């Protein structure tokens, strides 16, 4: 019996990984569930949350904090980049690279370590 559970869990985790790779953008747990259910239709949201937690612990996924929204997740290990959120459908997309060439002017005694930059607008699907 434990072998069956292990196989099922691996199949579920594989479907969740495939969802992130297929989407190639940050996903919410609900978005990951919808995509992963194409492979494993009996997948539950609790299983998705549990596996996302495991994939973050394994450093395969990394959290993407969206201002005023719930956390999304993307495949880890990518170069520094920023994100775009569609005002209509709410999807979050990756922006290649970073156009911020200079560091912000900080008050005396402050030290710069990193920055976040989020862009909002309308995605190509919603523009049509």
> What whole-number distance in Å separates Cα of residue 77 and Cα of residue 72?
16
The CB-based long-range contact list for 57-66 (8 Å cut-off, 24+ gap) reads: 60/17, 61/20, 64/26, 64/92, 65/116, 66/26, 66/92, 66/118
Q: Smallest Cα–Cα separation from 73: which of 23, 8, 124, 10?
A: 23
Q: Is 115 annotated as a binding residue?
A: yes
Q: Are 85 and 118 in contact (CB under 8 A)?
A: yes
Q: Is 98 annotated as a binding residue?
A: no
Binding site for Fe cation, residues?
80, 115
Binding site for Zn(2+), residues?
86, 89, 123, 126
Binding site, residues?
80, 86, 89, 115, 123, 126
């Amino acid at each position: 019996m434990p072998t069956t559970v292990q196989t099922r869990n691996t199949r579920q985790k594989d479907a969740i990984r495939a969802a992130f790779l297929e989407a190639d953008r940050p996903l919410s747990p609900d978005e990951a569930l919808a995509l992963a259910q194409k492979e494993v239709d009996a997948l539950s949201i609790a299983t998705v949350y549990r596996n996302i937690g495991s994939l973050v612990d394994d450093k395969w996924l990394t959290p993407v904090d969206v201002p005023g929204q719930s956390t999304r997740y993307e495949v880890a290990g990518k170069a520094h980049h920023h994100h775009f959120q569609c005002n209509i459908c709410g999807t979050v997309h990756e922006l290649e690279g970073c156009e911020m060439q200079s560091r912000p002017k900080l008050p005396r005694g402050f030290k710069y370590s990193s920055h976040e930059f989020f862009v909002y607008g309308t995605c190509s699907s919603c523009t049509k």
